[in-house]
């Protein structure tokens, strides 16, 4: 028997194989509306609303680095990324269960800071931390957050549901998280060099980070767009398809296209890029649009709406229309600012935990 390392099939390949194994269990619960394959699972409990639930794992050295991540921020982010998945269903978050595996030598005070960040974020989003589990960890810190939320069933937005001719929309700006991460990674290597040479950390370098605080904030303290869910509610809008931008615009648009059985065309010039991300990209001689397409972790909402609903969103400056849904056979296309059309299916995009980095 030959064994295949996970890196050979990648994260999405692994998820596909595991989903196939878990799929037969779905029929055990007829009240399950949506199983594996969307931002949240959806199930009926007999009330007027349905329940949605999601879970996210944050692993030290994979998702975060304690040298550049304050514990309070990390706690807040662990909550926000799960709220973002609940919002991507057009639902509101209710309860979080939190598990942590903690290295024995980590000071209690740091774990308390982590929880303070979680509790602060939870109250801001109006949800309750209802339980959890703790364990020691032989190596790094691991955080697992599971969140449930609710929405009237007719208000739910799935990844499936986009139809040709509809608008592709995105909230806020993109590219900020990748830009912030670039800065933090550069800072990290400076810090490590200084530590190695027994020198102290230069405050002047911090001053430059201050200047780019918006991008760093996008990475360390992302905000889930619960305000958009409330806007949809007030405007009487239900997106025909929705996802949160966690893997990058290309990969997340691909999720909508695959699940909806459609293609899409987006216009580079209309992608809302964080202004600071452009400045930082210039400094790194990199491309902020590439960060928006492939960087991920922006936690904005990417959604589709029939063109007839344009007037309902036109007044909301937080929403950009960046393209249009196409029939499946036309594929996923991007027209760049020079008018060149690129096939997004062939371009790289999205973060693979098991890929070579």
Considering only residues 46-105, where is the footprint of its own copies by CB under 8 A? 46-49, 51, 53-57, 59-63, 94-95, 97-102, 104-105
Q: How far apart are CA 148 and CA 191, in angstroms?
A: 39
Which of the ranges 142-150, 164-172, 195-203, 247-255 carries the binding residues for its own copies, by CB under 8 A? 142-150
3-state SS assignment for residue 149: strand
Strands 319-327 and 262-267: antiparallel
Q: How far apart are CA 240 and CA 255, in angstroms?
A: 14
Q: How far apart are CA 277 and CA 178, in angstroms?
A: 8
Per CB under 8 A, 116 contacts its own copies: yes
| Site for its own copies, residues 148 to 207, rule: CB under 8 A | 148, 150
Query: Among 65, 66, 70, 106, which residue interacts with its own copies (rule: CB under 8 A)?
Result: 106
Closest contact distance (angstroms) between CB of 276 and its own copies is 28
Structure tokens at 320: 């950009």
| Site for its own copies, residues 279 to 308, rule: CB under 8 A | none
Residue 288 has, within 13 A of its CA and on its CB side, a CA count of 23
Q: Which is nearer to its own copies, 169 or 242 (CB)?
A: 242
Which of the ranges 19-27, 192-200, 252-260, 306-314 carries the binding residues for its own copies, by CB under 8 A? 19-27
Closest contact distance (angstroms) between CB of 300 and its own copies is 20
Closest contact distance (angstroms) between CB of 140 and its own copies is 6
Per CB under 8 A, 317 contacts its own copies: no
Per CB under 8 A, 335 contacts its own copies: no
Per CB under 8 A, 242 contacts its own copies: no
Closest contact distance (angstroms) between CB of 142 and its own copies is 5
Per CB under 8 A, 351 contacts its own copies: no
Which of the ranges 64-72, 131-139, 188-196, 251-259 carries the binding residues for its own copies, by CB under 8 A? 131-139
Spatial neighbors of 179 by CB under 8 A, at least 6 apart, are 212, 215, 218, 219, 274, 276, 277, 280, 281, 288, 291, 295
> What are the angstrom distances between the C-alpha of 266 and each of 32, 244, 272, 310?
34, 17, 12, 17
331: left (phi > 0), else alpha (psi -120 to 50), else beta?
left
Which of the ranges 64-72, 127-135, 205-213, 315-323 carries the binding residues for its own copies, by CB under 8 A? 127-135
The radius of gyration of the chain's CA atoms, rounded to the nearest angstrom, is: 21
């Amino acid at each position: 028997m030959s064994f295949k390392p996970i890196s050979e099939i990648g994260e999405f390949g692994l998820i596909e194989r595991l989903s196939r194994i878990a799929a037969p269990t779905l029929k055990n619960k007829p009240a399950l509306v949506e199983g594996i394959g969307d931002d949240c699972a959806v199930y009926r409990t007999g009330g007027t609303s349905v329940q949605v639930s999601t879970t996210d794992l944050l692993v030290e050295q994979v998702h975060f680095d304690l040298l550049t991540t304050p514990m309070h921020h990390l706690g807040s982010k662990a909550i926000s990324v799960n709220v973002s998945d609940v919002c991507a269903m057009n639902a509101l978050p209710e309860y979080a269960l939190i598990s942590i595996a903690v290295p024995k030598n980590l000071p209690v005070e740091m774990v308390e800071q982590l929880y303070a960040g979680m509790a602060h974020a939870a109250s801001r989003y109006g949800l309750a931390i209802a339980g959890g589990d703790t364990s020691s960890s032989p190596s790094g810190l691991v955080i697992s957050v599971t969140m449930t939320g609710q929405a009237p069933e007719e208000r739910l937005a799935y990844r499936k549901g986009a139809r040709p001719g509809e608008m592709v929309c995105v909230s806020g700006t993109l590219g900020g998280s990748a830009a912030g991460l670039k800065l933090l990674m550069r800072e990290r290597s400076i810090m490590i060099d200084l530590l190695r040479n027994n020198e102290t950390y230069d405050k002047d370098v911090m001053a430059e980070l201050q200047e780019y605080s918006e991008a760093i904030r996008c990475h360390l303290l992302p905000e889930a767009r619960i305000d958009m869910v409330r806007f949809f509610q007030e405007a009487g809008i239900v997106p025909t398809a929705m996802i949160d931008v966690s893997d990058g615009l290309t990969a997340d648009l691909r999720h909508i296209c695959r699940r909806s059985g459609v293609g899409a065309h987006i216009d580079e010039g209309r992608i809302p890029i964080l202004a600071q991300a452009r400045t930082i990209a210039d400094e790194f001689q990199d491309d902020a649009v590439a960060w928006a397409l492939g960087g991920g972790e922006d936690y904005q909402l990417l959604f589709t709406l029939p063109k007839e609903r344009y007037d309902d969103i036109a007044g909301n400056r937080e929403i950009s229309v960046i393209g249009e849904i196409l029939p499946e056979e036309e594929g996923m296309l991007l027209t760049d600012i020079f008018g060149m059309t690129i096939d997004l299916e062939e371009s790289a995009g999205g973060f693979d935990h098991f890929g070579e980095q």
